[in-house]
Amino acid sequence: MNKSTDGNEPRTTRRQATRWDTQDAAWTDIQPRLGTLNALVLDAITQQSGTCDELEIRLSLTHQTCSACVNSLMNDGLIVADGKRPTRSGRAARVWTLPIPTTLFGKTNEFNR
């Protein structure tokens, strides 16, 4: 199969092309805000550890936005999972906290749970 100009497999159907175009547009639109959103989530975790569900409520973020920030922070090694507790739906979810007691944003985190 031939590669398209962007290096990806060609999008053969009209639906695929439309879906990818909207995803590409959304990705481009969010780029300038990613650092701010990640900092917002990291600051919230610094104040008090929490599940993604709890962070969504505290920060008034959508699940998709909060989950993406948590994954980015985890991949960067800035937060770690430390236990589990139930979400609003009753399912177990990871509790996110800082990897070591530290001071960020002028606040000290002592593994608040």
Longest dimension (CA), the chain: 54
* Most confident residue range from 18-22, 79-83, 97-101: 79-83
Contact criterion met (CB below 8 Å) for 99 and 42: no
Angle in degrees, CA 66, 35, 105, rounded to 5: 90
Summarised one tens digit per residue, pLDDT across range 43-73 is 999 999 999 999 999 999 999 999 999 998 9
CATH of 34-105, one of 3.60.9.10, 1.10.10.10, 3.30.300.30, 3.30.1490.190: 1.10.10.10
Residues 69, 53: Cα–Cα separation, whole Å: 13
Contact criterion met (CB below 8 Å) for 93 and 52: yes
| pTM, full prediction | 0.64
Which structure tokens are listed for 65?
């936005």
Task: Break the chain into its structural domains and give their ranges.
Answer: 34-105
Question: Which of 37 and 109 is assigned the larger pLDDT?
Answer: 37
